[in-house]
Structure 1
Amino acid sequence: MSNLYDCTFCFEDEGRDFRKITSKCVHRAVVCTECVRKHIETYIEKQLVEVPCPTNGCTKIMERHDIKNFTTDKNFEIYDSLAFKLAIHKIPDFRWCKALCGTGQIHLGKDETPIVICQTCNAKSCYTHKVSWHEGQTCEQYEENKKQTDFATKDYLSRISKPCPNCSMYIDKNGGCNHMTCKCSYEFCWL
Protein backbone atom coordinates (compact mmCIF):
# COMPACT_ATOMS: atom_id res chain seq x y z
CA MET A 1 0.00 0.00 0.00
CA SER A 2 1.41 3.37 -0.97
CA ASN A 3 2.20 6.12 1.48
CA LEU A 4 -0.27 9.04 1.51
CA TYR A 5 2.63 11.35 0.56
CA ASP A 6 4.09 9.34 -2.33
CA CYS A 7 4.73 11.48 -5.42
CA THR A 8 2.17 10.55 -8.09
CA PHE A 9 4.89 10.87 -10.74
CA CYS A 10 7.94 9.08 -9.34
CA PHE A 11 6.15 7.20 -6.47
CA GLU A 12 8.95 8.18 -4.09
CA ASP A 13 8.46 9.66 -0.67
CA GLU A 14 11.79 9.34 1.08
CA GLY A 15 13.75 12.58 0.98
CA ARG A 16 11.12 14.23 -1.25
CA ASP A 17 9.90 17.76 -0.68
CA PHE A 18 6.19 18.49 -1.19
CA ARG A 19 4.85 22.03 -1.29
CA LYS A 20 2.02 23.98 -2.86
CA ILE A 21 2.52 23.95 -6.63
CA THR A 22 0.74 27.11 -7.75
CA SER A 23 -0.53 30.14 -5.94
CA LYS A 24 -3.96 29.28 -7.39
CA CYS A 25 -4.12 25.60 -6.33
CA VAL A 26 -6.23 24.62 -3.36
CA HIS A 27 -5.37 20.89 -3.35
CA ARG A 28 -2.65 19.18 -1.33
CA ALA A 29 0.61 18.80 -3.25
CA VAL A 30 0.89 15.22 -4.52
CA VAL A 31 3.87 15.80 -6.81
CA CYS A 32 7.34 16.27 -5.36
CA THR A 33 9.32 19.41 -6.11
CA GLU A 34 11.84 17.46 -8.22
CA CYS A 35 9.07 16.13 -10.49
CA VAL A 36 7.43 19.58 -10.70
CA ARG A 37 10.82 20.98 -11.79
CA LYS A 38 11.12 18.29 -14.51
CA HIS A 39 7.52 18.96 -15.59
CA ILE A 40 8.28 22.67 -16.01
CA GLU A 41 11.53 21.97 -17.90
CA THR A 42 9.62 19.75 -20.37
CA TYR A 43 7.32 22.67 -21.19
CA ILE A 44 10.25 25.07 -21.50
CA GLU A 45 12.04 22.68 -23.89
CA LYS A 46 8.88 22.61 -26.04
CA GLN A 47 8.88 26.43 -25.91
CA LEU A 48 5.52 26.56 -24.14
CA VAL A 49 4.95 29.19 -21.47
CA GLU A 50 1.55 28.07 -20.21
CA VAL A 51 2.61 25.37 -17.76
CA PRO A 52 -0.32 23.60 -16.09
CA CYS A 53 -0.19 22.25 -12.56
CA PRO A 54 1.05 18.65 -12.92
CA THR A 55 -1.49 17.35 -10.37
CA ASN A 56 -4.00 15.06 -12.06
CA GLY A 57 -7.34 16.85 -12.49
CA CYS A 58 -5.99 20.34 -11.75
CA THR A 59 -6.28 22.79 -14.63
CA LYS A 60 -4.59 25.79 -12.99
CA ILE A 61 -1.79 27.44 -14.97
CA MET A 62 1.42 28.14 -13.08
CA GLU A 63 2.22 31.83 -12.62
CA ARG A 64 5.63 33.33 -13.38
CA HIS A 65 6.60 33.32 -9.68
CA ASP A 66 5.49 29.66 -9.38
CA ILE A 67 7.87 28.74 -12.23
CA LYS A 68 10.67 30.70 -10.53
CA ASN A 69 10.08 28.84 -7.25
CA PHE A 70 10.60 25.41 -8.80
CA THR A 71 13.11 25.74 -11.64
CA THR A 72 16.80 26.59 -11.91
CA ASP A 73 17.96 30.16 -12.58
CA LYS A 74 19.12 29.14 -16.06
CA ASN A 75 15.78 27.56 -17.00
CA PHE A 76 13.85 30.46 -15.51
CA GLU A 77 15.89 32.85 -17.66
CA ILE A 78 14.98 30.78 -20.76
CA TYR A 79 11.32 30.74 -19.69
CA ASP A 80 11.28 34.49 -19.02
CA SER A 81 12.89 35.28 -22.37
CA LEU A 82 10.41 33.04 -24.19
CA ALA A 83 7.45 34.58 -22.35
CA PHE A 84 8.71 38.07 -23.27
CA LYS A 85 9.13 37.17 -26.95
CA LEU A 86 5.67 35.60 -27.13
CA ALA A 87 4.13 38.66 -25.48
CA ILE A 88 5.92 41.06 -27.81
CA HIS A 89 4.74 39.09 -30.88
CA LYS A 90 1.16 39.91 -29.90
CA ILE A 91 1.80 43.60 -30.61
CA PRO A 92 0.73 43.91 -34.27
CA ASP A 93 3.11 46.76 -35.16
CA PHE A 94 6.20 45.23 -33.51
CA ARG A 95 8.98 44.06 -35.88
CA TRP A 96 12.25 42.30 -35.06
CA CYS A 97 15.37 43.58 -36.79
CA LYS A 98 16.03 41.51 -39.92
CA ALA A 99 19.80 42.04 -39.50
CA LEU A 100 19.48 39.79 -36.43
CA CYS A 101 21.01 42.30 -34.03
CA GLY A 102 18.58 40.97 -31.43
CA THR A 103 16.41 44.05 -31.08
CA GLY A 104 13.07 45.16 -32.41
CA GLN A 105 10.70 48.07 -32.27
CA ILE A 106 7.14 49.19 -32.82
CA HIS A 107 6.71 50.79 -36.24
CA LEU A 108 3.96 53.38 -36.26
CA GLY A 109 4.11 54.07 -40.01
CA LYS A 110 2.60 50.68 -40.89
CA ASP A 111 2.16 49.97 -44.62
CA GLU A 112 2.03 53.67 -45.57
CA THR A 113 5.76 54.08 -44.73
CA PRO A 114 6.99 50.49 -44.86
CA ILE A 115 10.73 51.06 -44.32
CA VAL A 116 11.65 50.17 -40.74
CA ILE A 117 15.08 51.43 -39.69
CA CYS A 118 16.48 49.58 -36.69
CA GLN A 119 17.24 51.97 -33.85
CA THR A 120 20.20 49.82 -32.79
CA CYS A 121 22.06 48.90 -35.99
CA ASN A 122 20.33 51.09 -38.65
CA ALA A 123 19.47 48.08 -40.82
CA LYS A 124 16.44 48.57 -43.06
CA SER A 125 13.57 46.11 -43.27
CA CYS A 126 10.11 46.01 -44.80
CA TYR A 127 7.20 46.39 -42.39
CA THR A 128 4.73 44.90 -44.89
CA HIS A 129 6.67 41.79 -45.96
CA LYS A 130 8.69 41.24 -42.76
CA VAL A 131 11.97 40.83 -44.70
CA SER A 132 15.13 42.88 -45.18
CA TRP A 133 14.33 45.97 -47.24
CA HIS A 134 13.96 45.16 -50.92
CA GLU A 135 16.32 47.88 -52.14
CA GLY A 136 15.37 49.38 -55.51
CA GLN A 137 11.83 47.94 -55.43
CA THR A 138 8.54 49.23 -54.13
CA CYS A 139 6.42 46.83 -52.11
CA GLU A 140 4.22 46.26 -55.17
CA GLN A 141 7.26 45.38 -57.34
CA TYR A 142 8.60 43.10 -54.62
CA GLU A 143 5.22 41.33 -54.41
CA GLU A 144 5.12 40.81 -58.18
CA ASN A 145 8.70 39.46 -58.27
CA LYS A 146 7.88 37.16 -55.37
CA LYS A 147 4.88 35.73 -57.25
CA GLN A 148 7.06 35.11 -60.33
CA THR A 149 9.77 33.48 -58.21
CA ASP A 150 7.21 31.29 -56.42
CA PHE A 151 5.75 30.23 -59.78
CA ALA A 152 9.22 29.45 -61.18
CA THR A 153 10.09 27.42 -58.08
CA LYS A 154 6.86 25.40 -58.29
CA ASP A 155 7.41 24.83 -62.02
CA TYR A 156 10.98 23.64 -61.43
CA LEU A 157 9.93 21.34 -58.58
CA SER A 158 7.15 19.83 -60.70
CA ARG A 159 9.65 18.97 -63.45
CA ILE A 160 12.30 17.30 -61.25
CA SER A 161 10.29 15.94 -58.33
CA LYS A 162 6.94 14.65 -57.14
CA PRO A 163 5.14 15.14 -53.83
CA CYS A 164 4.82 12.12 -51.58
CA PRO A 165 1.16 10.96 -51.70
CA ASN A 166 1.23 10.63 -47.90
CA CYS A 167 3.00 13.75 -46.53
CA SER A 168 3.36 15.96 -49.67
CA MET A 169 7.13 16.39 -49.19
CA TYR A 170 8.82 16.73 -52.59
CA ILE A 171 11.05 13.83 -53.62
CA ASP A 172 13.39 13.71 -56.60
CA LYS A 173 14.39 10.54 -58.43
CA ASN A 174 18.10 10.28 -59.07
CA GLY A 175 18.23 6.88 -60.72
CA GLY A 176 17.33 3.30 -59.92
CA CYS A 177 13.93 1.69 -60.02
CA ASN A 178 10.56 3.38 -59.67
CA HIS A 179 9.94 2.10 -56.11
CA MET A 180 10.19 5.14 -53.85
CA THR A 181 10.39 5.36 -50.06
CA CYS A 182 9.76 8.78 -48.54
CA LYS A 183 11.36 10.06 -45.31
CA CYS A 184 7.93 9.55 -43.71
CA SER A 185 8.37 5.80 -44.56
CA TYR A 186 5.53 5.84 -47.11
CA GLU A 187 6.28 3.69 -50.20
CA PHE A 188 4.92 4.44 -53.66
CA CYS A 189 5.61 3.98 -57.37
CA TRP A 190 7.24 6.94 -59.14
CA LEU A 191 5.13 6.31 -62.26
Structure 2
Amino acid sequence: MSTAPSARYCPTRDLALDPLMSCKLCLGEFPQEHMTTISQCQCVFCSLCLKQYVEFLIKEGLETAISCPDSACPKHGHLLENEMEGMVAEESMQRYRRLQFEREVLLDPCRTWCPSSSCQAVCQLKEGEMELPQLVQCSVCRLEFCSACRDDWHKGHACQDNIFLPRVTSSFYNSDDDTPIKRCPKCKVYIERDKGCAQMMCKNCKRTFCWYCLESLEDDFLLIHYDEGPCRNKLGLSRASVIWHRTQVVGIFAGFGLLLLLASPFLLIASPFVLCCKCKCSKGDDDPLPT
Protein backbone atom coordinates (compact mmCIF):
# COMPACT_ATOMS: atom_id res chain seq x y z
CA MET A 1 0.00 0.00 0.00
CA SER A 2 1.54 3.27 -1.11
CA THR A 3 0.94 6.60 0.49
CA ALA A 4 1.44 10.09 -0.90
CA PRO A 5 4.43 11.95 0.52
CA SER A 6 3.44 14.41 3.23
CA ALA A 7 3.99 18.14 2.63
CA ARG A 8 7.02 19.51 4.41
CA TYR A 9 7.64 23.11 5.53
CA CYS A 10 10.20 24.92 3.42
CA PRO A 11 11.33 28.25 4.89
CA THR A 12 13.30 29.12 1.75
CA ARG A 13 10.16 28.92 -0.33
CA ASP A 14 8.20 31.17 2.09
CA LEU A 15 10.94 33.78 2.06
CA ALA A 16 10.92 33.78 -1.72
CA LEU A 17 7.17 34.35 -1.81
CA ASP A 18 7.31 37.01 0.92
CA PRO A 19 9.91 39.62 -0.13
CA LEU A 20 11.57 41.70 2.57
CA MET A 21 10.90 45.42 2.93
CA SER A 22 13.50 48.02 3.89
CA CYS A 23 13.07 50.42 6.82
CA LYS A 24 14.32 53.98 6.19
CA LEU A 25 15.17 54.49 9.87
CA CYS A 26 17.29 51.47 10.80
CA LEU A 27 18.01 50.37 7.17
CA GLY A 28 17.06 46.81 8.13
CA GLU A 29 14.97 44.45 6.04
CA PHE A 30 11.87 42.84 7.50
CA PRO A 31 8.82 40.89 6.29
CA GLN A 32 5.66 42.84 5.63
CA GLU A 33 3.98 41.86 8.90
CA HIS A 34 6.75 43.62 10.82
CA MET A 35 6.24 46.89 8.95
CA THR A 36 3.82 49.78 9.57
CA THR A 37 2.45 52.10 6.90
CA ILE A 38 1.50 55.71 7.72
CA SER A 39 -1.93 56.24 6.19
CA GLN A 40 -1.49 59.92 5.25
CA CYS A 41 1.68 59.54 3.20
CA GLN A 42 1.99 55.74 2.72
CA CYS A 43 5.59 55.78 4.00
CA VAL A 44 6.63 52.40 5.43
CA PHE A 45 8.85 51.77 8.47
CA CYS A 46 9.51 48.83 10.73
CA SER A 47 7.08 48.77 13.64
CA LEU A 48 9.81 48.86 16.30
CA CYS A 49 11.52 51.96 14.88
CA LEU A 50 8.24 53.81 14.44
CA LYS A 51 7.18 52.93 18.00
CA GLN A 52 10.47 54.22 19.46
CA TYR A 53 10.22 57.39 17.33
CA VAL A 54 6.70 58.21 18.53
CA GLU A 55 7.49 57.43 22.18
CA PHE A 56 10.58 59.69 22.08
CA LEU A 57 8.68 62.67 20.65
CA ILE A 58 5.86 62.29 23.16
CA LYS A 59 8.27 61.95 26.10
CA GLU A 60 10.29 65.00 25.08
CA GLY A 61 7.19 67.01 24.13
CA LEU A 62 8.88 68.10 20.90
CA GLU A 63 5.80 67.96 18.68
CA THR A 64 2.08 67.96 19.26
CA ALA A 65 1.51 66.56 15.77
CA ILE A 66 3.77 63.56 15.15
CA SER A 67 5.09 63.97 11.62
CA CYS A 68 6.43 61.27 9.33
CA PRO A 69 10.02 60.41 10.37
CA ASP A 70 11.17 60.63 6.77
CA SER A 71 12.52 64.18 6.32
CA ALA A 72 12.06 63.83 2.55
CA CYS A 73 8.44 62.67 2.81
CA PRO A 74 6.73 64.07 -0.34
CA LYS A 75 3.33 64.46 1.36
CA HIS A 76 4.61 65.66 4.79
CA GLY A 77 2.28 63.19 6.47
CA HIS A 78 1.38 62.93 10.15
CA LEU A 79 0.45 59.94 12.26
CA LEU A 80 -3.19 59.81 13.27
CA GLU A 81 -4.16 59.34 16.89
CA ASN A 82 -5.65 55.89 16.26
CA GLU A 83 -2.38 54.83 14.63
CA MET A 84 -0.36 55.88 17.67
CA GLU A 85 -2.78 54.15 20.05
CA GLY A 86 -1.86 50.81 18.54
CA MET A 87 1.89 51.22 19.04
CA VAL A 88 2.50 53.10 22.33
CA ALA A 89 1.37 52.61 25.92
CA GLU A 90 -1.76 54.29 27.29
CA GLU A 91 0.36 56.44 29.61
CA SER A 92 2.17 57.93 26.60
CA MET A 93 -1.13 58.58 24.85
CA GLN A 94 -2.47 60.42 27.91
CA ARG A 95 0.62 62.63 27.92
CA TYR A 96 0.22 63.26 24.18
CA ARG A 97 -3.41 64.32 24.60
CA ARG A 98 -2.49 66.58 27.53
CA LEU A 99 0.25 68.28 25.49
CA GLN A 100 -2.19 68.79 22.62
CA PHE A 101 -4.76 70.37 24.93
CA GLU A 102 -2.19 72.66 26.57
CA ARG A 103 -1.02 73.89 23.17
CA GLU A 104 -4.60 74.51 22.05
CA VAL A 105 -5.21 76.68 25.14
CA LEU A 106 -1.94 78.59 24.60
CA LEU A 107 -2.84 79.36 20.98
CA ASP A 108 -6.46 80.27 21.75
CA PRO A 109 -6.77 84.02 22.53
CA CYS A 110 -10.15 83.40 24.19
CA ARG A 111 -8.82 80.98 26.82
CA THR A 112 -6.22 81.18 29.58
CA TRP A 113 -5.07 79.13 32.55
CA CYS A 114 -6.03 79.94 36.10
CA PRO A 115 -2.81 81.16 37.81
CA SER A 116 -3.55 79.22 40.99
CA SER A 117 -1.39 76.10 41.24
CA SER A 118 -4.07 74.36 43.28
CA CYS A 119 -6.65 74.85 40.52
CA GLN A 120 -5.13 74.89 37.02
CA ALA A 121 -8.54 75.26 35.36
CA VAL A 122 -9.06 76.79 31.91
CA CYS A 123 -10.84 80.16 32.04
CA GLN A 124 -12.83 81.75 29.23
CA LEU A 125 -12.25 85.37 28.18
CA LYS A 126 -14.76 87.79 26.69
CA GLU A 127 -14.24 87.90 22.93
CA GLY A 128 -15.29 91.53 22.55
CA GLU A 129 -12.67 92.80 25.01
CA MET A 130 -9.58 90.93 23.89
CA GLU A 131 -7.47 94.04 23.25
CA LEU A 132 -7.85 95.38 26.79
CA PRO A 133 -7.09 93.82 30.19
CA GLN A 134 -10.25 92.31 31.58
CA LEU A 135 -11.43 90.78 34.80
CA VAL A 136 -11.35 86.99 34.70
CA GLN A 137 -13.02 84.87 37.35
CA CYS A 138 -12.14 81.21 37.52
CA SER A 139 -15.29 79.11 37.46
CA VAL A 140 -13.68 76.48 39.69
CA CYS A 141 -11.81 78.30 42.48
CA ARG A 142 -13.54 81.73 41.95
CA LEU A 143 -10.15 83.50 41.80
CA GLU A 144 -10.32 86.95 40.14
CA PHE A 145 -7.27 87.99 38.13
CA CYS A 146 -6.19 90.25 35.26
CA SER A 147 -6.13 88.68 31.81
CA ALA A 148 -3.01 90.66 30.81
CA CYS A 149 -0.60 90.36 33.75
CA ARG A 150 -2.38 87.44 35.51
CA ASP A 151 -2.04 89.22 38.85
CA ASP A 152 -4.90 90.15 41.20
CA TRP A 153 -7.51 92.26 39.44
CA HIS A 154 -6.49 95.93 39.61
CA LYS A 155 -9.49 97.95 38.45
CA GLY A 156 -8.59 101.48 37.37
CA HIS A 157 -4.85 100.80 37.20
CA ALA A 158 -2.84 99.88 34.13
CA CYS A 159 -0.72 96.74 34.27
CA GLN A 160 2.51 98.70 33.96
CA ASP A 161 1.49 100.94 36.88
CA ASN A 162 0.48 97.99 39.00
CA ILE A 163 3.38 96.56 41.01
CA PHE A 164 3.52 92.90 40.00
CA LEU A 165 4.09 90.63 42.98
CA PRO A 166 4.15 86.92 42.17
CA ARG A 167 1.41 85.05 43.95
CA VAL A 168 2.54 82.38 46.37
CA THR A 169 0.01 80.01 44.84
CA SER A 170 1.12 80.64 41.26
CA SER A 171 2.99 77.69 39.80
CA PHE A 172 4.08 79.67 36.77
CA TYR A 173 5.96 82.56 38.40
CA ASN A 174 6.73 81.18 41.84
CA SER A 175 10.44 80.66 42.46
CA ASP A 176 9.85 77.91 44.99
CA ASP A 177 12.21 74.98 44.49
CA ASP A 178 9.30 72.52 44.57
CA THR A 179 7.34 74.26 41.78
CA PRO A 180 6.92 71.67 38.98
CA ILE A 181 5.59 74.00 36.25
CA LYS A 182 6.63 77.49 35.17
CA ARG A 183 6.43 79.62 32.05
CA CYS A 184 9.30 80.44 29.73
CA PRO A 185 10.43 84.04 30.46
CA LYS A 186 10.53 84.76 26.70
CA CYS A 187 7.62 83.02 24.94
CA LYS A 188 5.51 82.20 28.05
CA VAL A 189 5.07 78.55 27.09
CA TYR A 190 4.46 76.23 30.04
CA ILE A 191 7.47 74.13 31.02
CA GLU A 192 7.41 71.15 33.36
CA ARG A 193 10.57 70.15 35.22
CA ASP A 194 10.55 66.58 36.44
CA LYS A 195 14.20 66.25 37.37
CA GLY A 196 17.69 67.33 36.34
CA CYS A 197 19.71 70.49 36.75
CA ALA A 198 18.41 74.04 36.98
CA GLN A 199 19.71 75.06 33.55
CA MET A 200 16.62 74.94 31.35
CA MET A 201 16.09 75.37 27.61
CA CYS A 202 12.66 76.13 26.20
CA LYS A 203 11.83 73.74 23.38
CA ASN A 204 9.62 76.35 21.75
CA CYS A 205 11.92 79.41 21.51
CA LYS A 206 15.26 77.76 22.51
CA ARG A 207 15.85 80.29 25.31
CA THR A 208 18.24 79.02 28.00
CA PHE A 209 17.45 80.27 31.51
CA CYS A 210 17.69 79.50 35.22
CA TRP A 211 14.74 77.56 36.61
CA TYR A 212 14.70 79.41 39.94
CA CYS A 213 15.07 83.11 39.00
CA LEU A 214 14.21 82.80 35.25
CA GLU A 215 17.34 84.82 34.37
CA SER A 216 18.81 84.25 30.91
CA LEU A 217 21.83 81.94 30.63
CA GLU A 218 22.38 82.51 26.92
CA ASP A 219 25.96 83.83 27.32
CA ASP A 220 26.84 81.99 30.52
CA PHE A 221 28.70 79.03 29.00
CA LEU A 222 30.58 78.31 32.23
CA LEU A 223 27.45 78.57 34.44
CA ILE A 224 28.97 81.29 36.60
CA HIS A 225 25.40 82.27 37.53
CA TYR A 226 25.33 79.47 40.13
CA ASP A 227 28.51 80.60 41.89
CA GLU A 228 26.96 83.62 43.58
CA GLY A 229 23.67 85.35 44.33
CA PRO A 230 20.35 83.75 45.34
CA CYS A 231 20.90 80.76 43.01
CA ARG A 232 24.30 79.87 44.48
CA ASN A 233 24.88 76.08 44.53
CA LYS A 234 21.37 75.44 43.12
CA LEU A 235 22.47 74.05 39.76
CA GLY A 236 21.65 70.53 40.89
CA LEU A 237 24.96 69.02 39.81
CA SER A 238 27.94 67.98 41.88
CA ARG A 239 30.98 70.21 42.06
CA ALA A 240 32.96 67.65 40.09
CA SER A 241 30.37 67.72 37.30
CA VAL A 242 30.49 71.52 37.13
CA ILE A 243 34.29 71.49 36.97
CA TRP A 244 34.20 68.84 34.25
CA HIS A 245 31.66 70.88 32.27
CA ARG A 246 33.81 74.00 32.48
CA THR A 247 36.89 72.02 31.52
CA GLN A 248 35.12 70.76 28.41
CA VAL A 249 33.96 74.25 27.39
CA VAL A 250 37.40 75.77 27.93
CA GLY A 251 38.96 72.82 26.08
CA ILE A 252 36.70 73.37 23.06
CA PHE A 253 37.56 77.07 22.81
CA ALA A 254 41.24 76.35 23.40
CA GLY A 255 41.17 73.65 20.71
CA PHE A 256 39.69 76.03 18.14
CA GLY A 257 42.27 78.67 19.06
CA LEU A 258 45.15 76.21 18.79
CA LEU A 259 43.86 74.91 15.46
CA LEU A 260 43.63 78.45 14.12
CA LEU A 261 47.12 79.22 15.39
CA LEU A 262 48.60 76.14 13.75
CA ALA A 263 46.77 76.74 10.49
CA SER A 264 47.68 80.43 10.19
CA PRO A 265 51.20 79.85 8.70
CA PHE A 266 49.79 77.56 6.03
CA LEU A 267 47.11 80.13 5.23
CA LEU A 268 49.77 82.84 4.85
CA ILE A 269 51.85 80.60 2.57
CA ALA A 270 48.87 79.58 0.46
CA SER A 271 47.36 83.04 0.13
CA PRO A 272 49.74 84.24 -2.69
CA PHE A 273 48.95 81.14 -4.76
CA VAL A 274 45.23 81.65 -4.25
CA LEU A 275 45.49 85.30 -5.28
CA CYS A 276 47.65 84.37 -8.28
CA CYS A 277 45.15 81.77 -9.44
CA LYS A 278 42.33 84.27 -9.04
CA CYS A 279 44.20 86.87 -11.08
CA LYS A 280 44.92 84.36 -13.84
CA CYS A 281 41.29 83.30 -13.94
CA SER A 282 40.16 86.93 -14.12
CA LYS A 283 42.68 87.66 -16.86
CA GLY A 284 41.62 84.61 -18.80
CA ASP A 285 38.00 85.78 -18.73
CA ASP A 286 38.99 89.13 -20.26
CA ASP A 287 40.96 87.58 -23.17
CA PRO A 288 39.09 87.62 -26.48
CA LEU A 289 38.01 84.33 -27.92
CA PRO A 290 40.34 82.95 -30.61
CA THR A 291 39.16 83.45 -34.15
**Cα-Cα RMSD:** 3.6
CA distance in 1, matches of 2:131, 2:218: 40
Aligned to 1:13: 30
CA distance in 1, matches of 2:58, 2:135: 35
C-alpha distance after superposition, 1:79-102 (max 9, x if no partner)? 111112112222112110011312
Greater gyration radius? 2
Does the alignment pair 1:53 with 2:53? no
CA distance in 1, matches of 2:100, 2:226: 41
Question: Do the aligned residues in 2 keep the contact of 1:51 with 1:61 (CA within 8 Å)?
Answer: yes
Q: Which has the higher contact order (CA 8 A, sep 6+)?
A: 1
So what's the TM-score if we normalise by structure 1? 0.64
SS at match of 1:125: strand
Does the alignment pair 1:105 with 2:119? no
SS at match of 2:136: strand
Identity of matched residues, %: 16
CA distance in 1, matches of 2:92, 2:64: 12
* Unpaired stretches in structure 2, ≥5 consecutive residues: 1-18, 165-215, 229-242, 252-291
So what's the TM-score if we normalise by structure 2? 0.45
Aligned to 1:33: 47
SS at match of 2:92: helix
| Pairing of 1:21-170 with structure 2 (within 5 A) | 22-27=38-43, 29=44, 31-47=45-61, 48-55=63-70, 57-58=72-73, 59-100=76-117, 101-108=119-126, 109-110=129-130, 114-129=134-149, 131-133=150-152, 138-140=156-158, 142-144=159-161, 146=163, 166-167=219-220
CA distance in 2, matches of 1:43, 1:68: 14
Query: 1:8, CA displacement in angstroms?
Result: 3.5
Aligned to 2:289: none
For 1:91, the aligned partner's letter is D
Corresponding pairs, count: 158
Query: 1:19, CA displacement in angstroms?
Result: 2.3
Query: 1:115, CA displacement in angstroms?
Result: 1.9
For 2:138, the aligned partner's letter is C
CA distance 1:116–1:186, shift in 2 (3 Å): farther
For 1:50, the aligned partner's letter is A
* Unpaired stretches in structure 1, ≥5 consecutive residues: 148-162, 175-180
